[in-house]
Amino acid sequence: MGKAPERGGFPRLQRMGEEGFLIEFGDSLSMSVNAASLAFRAALDAAGWEGVEETATSLKSVFLRFDPLRLSHMALEVALSDLLQTHDWYGEGLPQGRKLWRVPTVFGGPHGPQLAEAAALAGMSPEDAVAQIAQTPVRVLTIGFSPGMPYLGQLPKAFDIPRKTELNPHVPPGGLALAIRQLVLFPVGTQTGWRWVGRAALDVFGQQAEQPFPLTAGDEIVFHPVDEATFEDAWAKVEQGRMVAQSEALA
Amino acid sequence: MTALLDILSAGPGLSLQDRGRPGLLAKGLSRGGAMDPAALAEGAALLGAAPDTALAVELAGAGGTFRAEGADLLIALTGAPMTAEIEGARVPWSGSHLLPRGTTLKIGGALQGSYGYLSVAGLDAPEILGARSAHLSGGIGRRLVAGDRLFCAPAPNLGGLMIAAEDRFSGGEIRILPSVQTAQFDRETLDRLQDTAFRKDARASRMGARMGFDGPGFSSSAHLAILSEIIVPGDIQVIGDGAPFVLLNECQSMGGYPRIATVISADLPRVAQAAPGSPIRFRFVTLEEALKARQASINYLKSLPSRAVPRVRHPGDIPDLLSYQLVSGAISAHHDPHEKEG
């Protein structure tokens, strides 16, 4: 018998072209939909089926790429359906092996010129906004758009602020930007419609580093406020490839 | 002395390419790699090298000028046919050639298709994340420019070979399968997708290619706001102006546009290779047909070492002798098979 109650048609299993499947756990982001995606991907990876070439998660689903000449769509469809039935993925909890990162971060000023604007939209002072962000360990909901770039959430409801319609011309590497109860941390300088609130001393894509991609979806980050001088010292070490951020295993 | 290939002048789109970095989607990186993997493998076959580890200079639209330094080099020219000269003498495309030390190879614009490949025996570069290719949109490596020097190996003792390459350079019918939002488009729109004569837009890049067309856009009836989802090369997004946009090797890892279909793996290099303005038509096929085509592509790659044959052969070994112009009683080393097609 299935242990997984359906939630409005989810989880939903779909073919994605010639060599992919998409398993969606919802059609909008919530922490439980995201957790279900992370848990199911961990189970898929643990199953280690021959012919599966890679798995990845988005905010709300799991993508699987396979070799259709080694593993048929039909056989994989059955195996995926069976695996989906073995657990209530929404109540499964997050996978093992996740890390908690503590990242020195400067908020406001020249390193976060839209902090005041974001705080005003959230109905609080910049000081309170920084305090609330710093108190909330945020989950790496997914990694993408640009290599290594984490989408982090969720912040308290007050931070459900829209993206700007016009783009910020340039947010530098390490830039931390906020919208829709999420933060993003940019690996490279970029344009964005998210409000630039700070800068974090973590290189999320260090090509020459021992671990080029330090973050994994499901990890959590605490953005620890520091002053400008401390940040600049930390950033110099990041640029030299000497990781500053500390991480510990999450239970 | 070290064997080097000096880049004296470079077209706008030169980069080192191999088979890319599949498997990093969870870290936000698309697979990248050569836009025409068969051309990369043809180059390896012409050099007598292993196809899995092949590395070549990808030439987008046009080549450049190159000089052998320190040793004689063995080169191979594959992919989109381009004009090529060694010390001013024309050399045929889809062939391997000796580039003697100190001599200059000049590669012009594409005569057909988009991506040419210059393979060199022993070409090497530092590995980043398991591959030596540049991933331009992902910020790995960079375009090659005049003044760059590439590490190669002295030419192995191997005669000039030629290979009869498949034509992947003129667009044409591209086979597609449904993707995750295909069902959100109504029957009439999906029929129109297959009936429309598209032209590949000139602004195509390693990230993707927009399909130009006349008529109304291809909107989905649902008009649902789609939360960004994982996207892969081959997916056809319907972008803001209603045009289909085929994602290619260096696409982003996530996107929020609806996907009307996805191009089968066997036909994706033909989308990449089609020259700007080339006609493109889409046709939905069965999964079975897609998998047959996938197997055929793999078989073609496997057959390449046996397809690379000496350029100058004994006339008795040439089965289609009468199709050659035997003006001087031998096949000209300077004969360009594509010249008369232009």
How close A95 gets to chain B, by Cα (Å)?
Answer: 15
Q: Does A20 lie in the same domain as A122? A: no
In a domain, A1, yes or no: no
Q: Does A126 lie in the same domain as A85? A: no
Q: Do B231 and B238 meet the contact criterion of CB atoms below 8 Å apart?
A: no
pLDDT tens per residue across span B308-326: 999 865 555 444 545 444 4
Q: Does A61 lie in the same domain as A170? A: no
Point out the domain boundary residue: A91, A120, A153. A91
Q: Does B207 lie in the same domain as B194? A: yes
In a domain, B302, yes or no: no
Cβ-based contacts under 8 A for chains A and B:
114
For residue A243, give the CATH number of its domain.
2.40.100.10
> Which own/partner pairs from A131-136 qualify as long-range (CB within 8 Å, at least 24 positions apart)?
A132/A156, A132/A158, A132/A159, A133/A107, A133/A159, A133/A178, A133/A183, A133/A197, A133/A223, A134/A105, A134/A222, A134/A223, A134/A224, A134/A225
Q: How many CB atoms lie within 10 A of CB B219?
A: 14
Chain A contact for B130, CB < 8 A? no
Q: Which residues contact B173 (CB under 8 A, 6 or more apart)?
A: B281, B282, B283
Q: Does B332 lie in the same domain as B196? A: no
Q: Of A13, A16, A207, A208, which to mutate for an interface test with B (greatest number of B Cβ within 10 Å)?
A: A16
Would the CB atoms of A146 and B295 count as touching at under 8 Å? no
Q: Of B128, B179, B237, B254, which to mutate for an interface test with A (greatest number of A Cβ within 10 Å)?
A: B254
- Nearest chain B alpha carbon to A147: B28
Chain A contact for B177, CB < 8 A? yes
Q: Does A225 lie in the same domain as A104? A: yes
Confidence of residue A37 (pLDDT cuts 50, 70, 90): very high
In a domain, B304, yes or no: no
Between CA B219 and CA B238 the distance in angstroms is 7
- pLDDT score of B224 more than 60: no
Q: Which domain holds residue B55?
A: 4-168+312-341
Chain A contact for B243, CB < 8 A? no
- pLDDT score of A52 more than 70: yes
For residue A72, give the CATH number of its domain.
3.30.1360.40
Q: Does B134 lie in the same domain as B24? A: yes
Q: Does B284 lie in the same domain as B199? A: yes
Q: Does B319 lie in the same domain as B220? A: no
Query: What residue type is assigned to position A171 of the chain?
Result: V
| pLDDT on residue B223 | 52
Q: What is the mean pLDDT of residues B2-15?
A: 97
Q: Does B100 lie in the same domain as B83? A: yes
Q: Does B246 lie in the same domain as B321? A: no
Would the CB atoms of A18 and B265 count as touching at under 8 Å? yes
Point out the domain boundary residue: A91, A115, A138. A91
Percent of chain B with pLDDT over 70: 89
In a domain, A5, yes or no: no
- Nearest chain B alpha carbon to A62: B230
Q: Does A36 lie in the same domain as A68? A: yes
How close B67 gets to chain A, by Cα (Å)?
Answer: 31
Tally of domains in chain B: 2
In a domain, A4, yes or no: no
Q: Which residues contact A57 (CB under 8 A, 6 or more apart)?
A: A34, A37, A38, A41, A63, A142, A217, B26
- Nearest chain A alpha carbon to B233: A17
DSSP 8-state class, residue B20: -
Q: Does A45 lie in the same domain as A112? A: no
Nearest to B253 among A17, A29, A145 (CB): A145
Q: Does B283 lie in the same domain as B150? A: no
ipTM over 0.90: yes
Query: What residue type is assigned to position B257 of the chain?
Result: Y
Q: Which domain holds residue A68?
A: 12-91
Helix (H) or strand (E) holding B191: helix B187-195
Q: Does A87 lie in the same domain as A103? A: no
Q: Give the CA distances from residue B120 to residues B52, B105, B126, in Å, rounded to whole numbers and listed in that order.
A: 15, 12, 16
Q: Does A179 lie in the same domain as A81? A: no
Would the CB atoms of A22 and B287 count as touching at under 8 Å? no
pTM: 0.91
Which residue do the tokens 């709300």 mark? Answer: A60
pLDDT tens per residue across span B191-207: 999 999 999 999 899 99
Q: Does A79 lie in the same domain as A103? A: no
| pLDDT on residue B332 | 43
pLDDT tens per residue across span B85-119: 999 999 999 999 999 999 999 999 999 999 999 99
CA nearest to B73, candidates B28, B6, B139: B6
Chain A contact for B222, CB < 8 A? no
Question: Which residues on chain A are in Cβ contact (under 8 Å) with B139?
Answer: 146-147, 187-188, 205, 207
Point out the domain boundary residue: A91, A115, A146. A91
In a domain, A6, yes or no: no
Question: Which residues on chain B are in Cβ contact (under 8 Å) with A149?
Answer: 28
Q: Does A233 lie in the same domain as A217? A: yes
The DSSP secondary structure of A192-207, one letter per residue, reads ESSEEEEEES--S--T
Would the CB atoms of B28 and A148 count as touching at under 8 Å? yes
3-state DSSP call for residue B102?
coil
Q: What is the mean pLDDT of residues A140-160?
A: 96
pLDDT tens per residue across span B41-74: 999 999 999 989 999 999 999 999 999 999 999 9
How close B31 gets to chain A, by Cα (Å)?
Answer: 11
Q: What is the mean pLDDT of residues A52-64?
A: 98
| pLDDT on residue A4 | 60
Would the CB atoms of B294 and A68 count as touching at under 8 Å? yes
Q: Does A161 lie in the same domain as A42? A: no
In a domain, A188, yes or no: yes
Q: Does B97 lie in the same domain as B25? A: yes
CA nearest to B213, candidates B177, B238, B234, B182: B238
Helix (H) or strand (E) holding B260: strand B259-263
Conformational region of residue B76, where left means phi above 0, alpha means psi within -120 to 50, and beta covers everything else? beta
Confidence of residue B335 (pLDDT cuts 50, 70, 90): very low
Which residue do the tokens 């793999």 mark? Answer: B298
Q: Does A112 lie in the same domain as A87? A: no
Q: Does B28 lie in the same domain as B147? A: yes
pLDDT tens per residue across span B11-33: 999 999 999 999 999 999 999 99
Q: Does B159 lie in the same domain as B65? A: yes
pLDDT tens per residue across span B228-238: 899 999 999 99
Judged by CB atoms within 8 Å, which residues 257-296 of B form the interface with A? 262, 264-265, 287, 290-291, 294-295
Q: Does B99 lie in the same domain as B80? A: yes
Question: Which residues on chain B are in Cβ contact (under 8 Å) with A148?
Answer: 27-29
In a domain, B301, yes or no: no
Tally of domains in chain A: 2
CA nearest to A106, candidates A166, A162, A172: A172
How close B261 gets to chain A, by Cα (Å)?
Answer: 8
In a domain, A119, yes or no: yes
In a domain, A2, yes or no: no
